[in-house]
Amino acid sequence: MERPIGAAVLTILGGIFVLLAGLLFAVIGLVVAAFALPFAGFFFIGLVVGLLLIVDGLLMAAVPALRILWGILAIVLGVISLPFALGGFVIGFLLVLIGGLLALFWKPVVATTTARVVPPSTGP
């Protein structure tokens, strides 16, 4: 069975960028939390989005029958990563967007079989 490997790889790479940006924001969140500000948990959402994108990319490769669901989920999570992790320094967002679109438009190759040609009958 063929799989949308290109879409999965781009989504995983974009998820890694989002995860790294989320990690940077999580460190900033720890500094903000040291001052007891109530919105410090906001910064940890980027980590969760990055992890979900990596899992989404793995599922694209593992379950290609649900490629449309995985592609839509990747695009939605990529958009969510923009405010929470700066879109993985923007390059992560672009990789996830391209990977999600590739998953949406990927079509498995249908095996073609050659039909047996039957000669016409010559009459009664």
Query: Is the residue at 120 inside a domain?
Result: no
Query: Is the residue at 88 inside a domain?
Result: yes
Query: Is the residue at 119 inside a domain?
Result: no
Question: Which pLDDT score, from 0 to 100, does residue 100 have?
Answer: 97
* Domain extent for 86: 9-105
Query: Is the residue at 24 inside a domain?
Result: yes
Query: Is the residue at 113 inside a domain?
Result: no
CA distance 46 to 29: 11
Question: Which pLDDT score, from 0 to 100, does residue 40 have?
Answer: 66
CB contact at 8 A, 14 and 93? yes
pTM score: 0.85
* pLDDT one digit per residue (tens) for the chain, 124 residues: 689 999 999 999 999 999 999 999 888 888 877 777 776 677 789 999 999 999 999 999 999 999 999 999 999 999 999 998 999 999 999 999 999 999 999 998 887 777 777 778 887 6
Question: Which pLDDT score, from 0 to 100, does residue 25 have?
Answer: 87
Query: Is the residue at 1 inside a domain?
Result: no
| Three-class DSSP category at 4 | coil
Question: Which pLDDT score, from 0 to 100, does residue 1 have?
Answer: 66
CA distance 69 to 60: 9
Rounded to 5°, angle at Cα 111 from 106 and 116: 150
Query: Is the residue at 74 inside a domain?
Result: yes
Give the number of domains in the chain. Answer: 1
Cβ–Cβ contacts within 10 Å for residue 32, how many? 17
Residue 38, both tokens:
């109530």
Query: Is the residue at 89 inside a domain?
Result: yes
